[in-house]
Structure 1
Amino acid sequence: MSLTRNAEATASRTAHSRSLELLARAGLIGYGIVHLLFAWLALQIAFGRSAEDGDQSGALQALAAQPMGKFLVVAIAVGLLAMAIWQALEAAVGHRADSGGERVVERIASVGRAVVYLYFAWTAWKVFSTAGSSTADKQEALTGRLMESAGGRWLVGLAGLVLAAIGVGLVIYGLVKRFEKHLKTGEMSPRTRQLSRRLGIAGYVAKGAAYTIAGLLIIMAAVNYDPDQARGLDAALRTLRDQSYGTLLLTLMALGIAAYGAFCFVQSRYRKV
């Protein structure tokens, strides 16, 4: 027990260290930049002007192609890695303001966030080290290989179901304004709080909708034995574009994703770290 308490104390000190806080806040800025670029790619797809993957890897590739772009991609990777460490420590220590079952839920959520941030940090590093890599292509190839194995289609379908469930969860998370719990709202002016609320709602709903569509497409890929449908967010955006009023709907989604990017900038100042 003493060893466990010492480990938790060490994790708590690390989680609340000033250097980790600064890196995590910088990571939120980088995360916001990625989503703004992602929104720009979505707009390009909406009007049929983009050959880039319509996902975060495509956004990072677009950034890496700019002057000083590779340096910025590495900086984003470092910031996202710091965010992953911060959330992993929060999962280990627990959220002090919570109690009972709510604390367990928050710890589980922190594990999920750590995995997401770590994945995006890895994606940024891969874009830096091997320019031209495509997560959409890799996802399609992996899906194809899984479908060739026994029970592979069930695994692909389950992955799609999980992704769709995460998407629905993000929509609900935004609509009930759960994100405000993690913000220092007491330090905000009324105008800033109203702005952050609107950006958070629009951002989480748009991201959730994109993930839900992507998950449903992966499920359809498993049902129809068609790996081409399992290209994640890229396929989701292009499928939405091809529907009736698709350009309008995808434009609205792009604006929502841009709102999430702006919300990340708000978080970099007011997030409880």
Structure 2
Amino acid sequence: MPERTPRELGLLADCESCFGLCCVALPFSASADFAVAKDAGRPCVNLQDDFRCGIHTQLRQRGFPGCTVFDCFGAGQKVSQVTFEGRDWRRAPETSGQMFTVFPVMRQLHELLWYLAEALTLDAAAEIVPELRAAYESTERLTRESPGVLEKLDVAACRAEVNTLLLRVSELVRAGHRGREHRGADLIGARLKGADLRAANLRGAYLIGADLRGADLRLADLIGADLRGADLSGADLTGSVFLTQAQVNAAKGSRATRLPASLTHPAHWTTPDSTPDRASGREPGPRGPRNRAGSRKRPPRRG
């Protein structure tokens, strides 16, 4: 189909055109992902006057790996340059409250655009292209609304409407394949080395710290799957659907990891590859990473 990919549509962060919104609008807690805690609306201690990060090249070494994982799907530059017409929150502080409220709303809308744009490139979804295109266009129009409209937008309703279409796309892509059903499954720390997960339904699955080395994830639906710390070294994710750059950034991998064409290998994927024989894969095990108190911790459900 002659549609453009999410990357070609600019649905990735362009930090040069943003007012550092992810560094000020969003909160984070001191954890393995962030060295310090920060409230929403308060600039990160590393944010400079020109909206650049003062430790950008050392984020992981300085205790901020969470920053290297995050991607706003291009919402930052949209809010900065379109919604607020280039007026930044430092020179126009009266805009700050509304700008910081609108940013997470815009990010969710851009995430939906990412999924819809990807769906429009899939041959398997040809029969519902008119519906997908209409959903994309209506969502894109919402991103150009005024700050007042955006801050009151019912994003949950937008997500629910688009998700109905995305479910159909997933079914069409995986039709004819007997993929495993793991939607929302607890696969934290699962031993899936070399596993056959072709056309698996992994929507919203918890794959934190899972061993997916050499796993076959072609045609798998990975929308909302939590891949933090999962090892994708040597895994094959070509043809998987609804996988985002942020999910890939949160995982571990190697140069031998095969990704969809719209995604890139993160810079921290520098470990040597040790691709296993897929036949040696094991079923998911019950053990997973533990929190500081010693018990397994399930993150809040997403998507």
For the criterion TM > 0.5, the same-fold answer is no
In the superposition, the TM-score normalised over structure 2's length comes to: 0.27
Identify the structure with bigger relative contact order (alpha carbons < 8 Å, sequence gap 6+). 1
In the superposition, the TM-score normalised over structure 1's length comes to: 0.29
